[in-house]
Structure 1
Amino acid sequence: MFPPLRSLLPRRGLALLAAVLLAGCAIAPPRTDDPLQKVNRKVYAFNDTLDKAVLRPAAVGYRKVTTPGMRRSVNNFFTNIELPVTVANNLLQARPSQALGNTGRFFINLTIGVGGLFDPATKMGLPLQTTDFGITLARWGVPDGDFVMLPLLGPSTVRDMWRYPVDGYFFDPLSLIAQNHGFNFGEYYLPQVLYVISMRSQLIDAEGFLQTAYDPYAFLRDAYRQRRLYMLYDGNPPAEVIEKMQGVDQPGFDPDELLEQQKQWEQQHATSKPAPAKD
């Protein structure tokens, strides 16, 4: 079984952009821990080209024919139907209280929220807290490994890439339905196509952040790593962990010097720099 189609959305997301801001303004050291950078950049360029040719035009059209309320309901539905993935990983992480809370959130939105179209659980004090099999592996001590840019799937690491087959095959409700029902004309993919378009439409307003970045690939790579760090520590990573990742814990830290080193490193190793997307 292939990963759910909604996973094929390039992760140029609001969450990644927000993670950069949450992690502070310190300058990160040159990323010499990206040995696959040459290949990763080519894959990034491919994903970006696909996004401009297919996903973004579809998302723009989707926004034109829907209202904000309709789009919010669609997003609420798919967010809620994915909660069993989080609950399963809560249990694998030996976190029964989180599993119980997310189970409650799922059933409240499924019933009171009219099938998940609305989100009364958040107003009742049950905020959305997602996790996945990559975070499960991290909690049991598996190192993240090299950063990899996956075709269609977007940024990941050697560890995190396992969340696609494991979560997609064993825990995803839509995938389980497809495994146990016959579909003659690919009906299984229709709701997932809608989900991908819905998610991509949410990113249009945030595109300016990526377009104005000095190096969009490096921005996305480091934002992904920071987002995963925040997920691992439930949004509150220790200060020393952040400082280590950003390099500010090193003796003689000089942000101006590191910024210059960062520019030199990226200029030496960049093979291409995608042009900004246009409407």
Structure 2
Amino acid sequence: MPSSFRFPLSRLVALCAVLAVAGCAVAPPRTDDPLQHFNRKVYAFNDTVDKLAIRPVAVGYRKVTNPPVRRSVSNFFSNLRMPITVANDLLQARPKQALEGSGRFLVNLTLGIGGIFDPATAMGIPDGDTDFGITLARWGVPEGDFLMLPLIGPTTMRDVWRLPVDSYFFDPLHYLTSNHKFHHGVYYIPSVLYLVSLRAQAIDAESFLESAYDPYAFLRDAYRQHRLYKLYDGNPPADVIERMQGLDQKGFDPDQLLQEQHQWEKKNDDGAAKPANAKGATLPAGTTGHG
């Protein structure tokens, strides 16, 4: 999408992360969030914008379209963004995955009529998904602090670099808009449709976020777990899973971890009030609300 155009994506990324890791083993609550005070304010802002502007549009989109149409739109944009994955597979020194991604892109572009259909999946070609944040991770760059950005959503100090790099160098939409002179903002239409379609997909998972004791913490942990699974192609090593779950800790007590999480957040949130939509519901013992 054009690098200058962004929607508020905090709820979107959280809900997509929930869908992506549903059924996976989950991590104990995290307390390594030194930017929490700033992040919570940005989350509240993004959440408000989403509720007032983005979600109503996504709901309207679902009302005027049927599942086959929405699936075709999703297929089209997934295939259009495949060059981002291919480029990063090359940067990660993974030629096999880059070749598979290139094959998938070409098959869907031709046999799939521009990517509207997905014959590549029926042919058994894997659907990879990576970005520059994962590229940096594979080359040993540490994750850094969790960061919530206005009108963008959750990221980390490492992952934030995927926004300018992938958007400017690898996204076909960027080259389309930079090499053609459109009038009246017409070049924004594909990006708007792409983001609305993503937001519409996430509506079905909203109950996970709304029932969380602390939606911000839910989002933060869901995002980080989602990125971890993506780093390991959905199959983290056993020792990574154990560390993520806290199973490697002697005397592991999930209830105690959850209680410590709540106490730490209250202590470090400068007296901020409990989230407005935290209806007293607590997450299952030892979870962050996803999995």
Query: TM-score higher than 0.5 here?
Result: yes
User: Which residue pairs with 2:175 in the alignment?
Assistant: 176
Number of the residue aligned with 1:147: 146
- Corresponding residue of 1:56: 55
Assess if the C-alpha contact under 8 Å between 2:35 and 2:145 holds in 1: yes
User: Residue 90 of structure 1 contacts residue 99 of structure 1 at CA under 8 Å; is this kept in 2?
Assistant: yes
The residue correspondences of 1:262-277 to structure 2 (distance < 5 A) are 262-270=261-269, 271-272=272-273, 273-275=275-277
Q: What TM-score results when the alignment is normalised by the length of structure 1?
A: 0.92
> Percent identity of the aligned residues?
64
- In structure 1, distance between residues paired with 2:125 and 2:276: 40
Q: Give me the whole-angstrom Cα distance separating, in 2, the residues matched to 1:100 and 1:8.
A: 33
Which deviates more, 111-120 or 250-259?
Answer: 250-259
1:71 aligned partner: 70
Residues 217 and 201 of structure 1: CA distance in aligned 2, closer, same or farther (over 3 Å): same
Cα deviation for residue 45 of structure 1 reads 0.4
Structure 2 residue aligned with 1:188: 187
C-alpha distance in 1 between matches for 2:76 and 2:164: 22
Q: Secondary structure at the match of 2:154?
A: strand
Given that residues 139 and 232 in structure 1 are in contact (C-alpha distance below 8 angstroms), is that contact kept between their aligned partners in structure 2? yes
Q: Separation in 2 of the partners of 1:197 and 1:177?
A: 20
In structure 2, what residue type is equivalent to 1:164?
L
| Amino acid of the structure 2 residue aligned with 1:48 | D
Q: Which amino acid aligns with 1:275?
A: N
User: What are the ranges of 5 or more consecutive residues in structure 2 without an aligned counterpart?
Assistant: 279-291
Instruction: State the TM-score, normalizing by the size of structure 2.
Output: 0.89
Cα deviation digits, residues 136-178 of structure 1 (max 9, x gap):
0000000010000111111100000000000000000000111
Is 1:17 matched with 2:22? Answer: no
Give the distance between the partners of 1:267 and 1:234, measured in 2 at CA.
35
Say which SS state the counterpart of residue 155 (structure 2) adopts. Answer: strand
**8 Å CA contact retained: 2:79, 2:108:** yes
Task: Provide the rounded CA distance (Å) in 1 between the counterparts of 2:53 and 2:153.
Answer: 15
Q: What whole-Å deviation, never above 9, does each CA across 1:39-73 have from its counterpart, x for those lacking one?
A: 00000001100100100000111111111111111
State how many pairs are aligned: 274
CA contact (8 A) 2:133 2:162 kept: yes
Q: Which amino acid aligns with 1:58?
A: V
User: Which residue does 2:164 correspond to in 1?
Assistant: 165
* Structure 1 stretch displaced more, 47-56 or 178-187: 178-187
1:123-147 CA distance string (max 9 Å, x none): 1111311000000000000001000
The answer to whether the Cα contact below 8 Å between 1:4 and 1:175 also exists between their aligned partners in 2 is: no
Q: Which residue is 1:108 aligned to? A: 107
Mapping of residues 8-47 of structure 1, within 5 Å: 8-10=8-10, 11-25=12-26, 28-29=28-29, 31-47=30-46
* Structure 1: tracts of 5 or more residues without a match: none
User: Are the aligned partners of 1:134 and 1:161 in contact in 2 as well (CA < 8 Å)?
Assistant: yes
> Counterpart of 2:266 in structure 1: which amino acid?
Q
- Cα 1:13–1:74 change in 2 (3 A) is farther
Aligned residues of 2:6 and 2:151 also touching (Cα < 8 A): no
